[in-house]
C-alpha cells in the first residue's frame, strides 16, 4: 500500500460505465489506492450494475485503508441509476455525493 498523502487524487468517470469499462475502472481505482480520492461523476450518462459494484468495493477498500473516498458532481444519470437499484448516498458509507 502506498503511503498516505495530504492531497486527494482525482478520477473522472467515463460517460458510459458498462461491462467493458468495469475492469478499467477497477484498475484505475487500484492505481490510486493509498491516497484520498475524489471521483467526478458529472459526465456519467449510463452506468451498469457491475460498475456500481466496483465503486462500492472502492468505498469499502478506502474505508478499510482509512482514506477519504468521495463522489462529486454526480450527474442525474448516476444518481438515478443508484435510485433504480434502491441505493442512495447514505449507503455509500465512506462516500460523499455533492451535486
**pLDDT per position as a tens digit, 11-23:** 999 999 999 999 9
Looking at residue 92, what is its pLDDT?
A: 52
Mean per-residue pLDDT for 48-69? 93
Please state the pTM of the whole predicted model.
0.82
Is 9-98 a domain of CATH 3.30.750.24? yes
Looking at residue 96, what is its pLDDT?
A: 45
Q: Where are the domains of the chain?
A: 9-98
Mean per-residue pLDDT for 47-76? 92
> pLDDT-based confidence at 24, cuts 50/70/90?
very high
Looking at residue 97, what is its pLDDT?
A: 45
Mean per-residue pLDDT for 82-91? 74
> pLDDT-based confidence at 7, cuts 50/70/90?
confident
Question: Could you write out the DSSP letters of every residue in 13-69?
Answer: PPSEESHHHHHHHHHHHHHTTTS-EEEE-TT--EE-HHHHHHHHHHHHHHHHTT--E
In angstroms, the CA 55 to CA 64 distance is: 14
Amino acid at each position: 500500500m502506498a503511503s498516505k498523502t495530504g492531497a486527494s487524487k482525482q478520477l473522472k468517470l467515463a460517460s458510459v460505465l458498462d461491462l467493458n469499462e468495469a475492469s478499467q475502472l477497477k484498475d484505475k481505482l487500484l492505481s490510486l489506492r493509498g491516497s484520498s480520492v475524489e471521483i467526478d461523476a458529472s459526465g456519467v450518462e449510463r452506468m451498469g450494475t457491475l460498475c456500481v459494484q466496483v465503486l462500492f468495493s472502492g468505498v469499502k477498500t478506502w474505508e478499510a485503508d482509512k482514506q477519504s473516498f468521495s463522489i462529486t458532481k454526480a450527474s442525474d444519470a448516476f444518481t438515478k441509476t443508484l435510485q433504480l437499484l434502491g441505493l442512495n448516498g447514505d449507503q455509500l458509507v465512506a462516500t460523499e455525493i455533492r451535486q
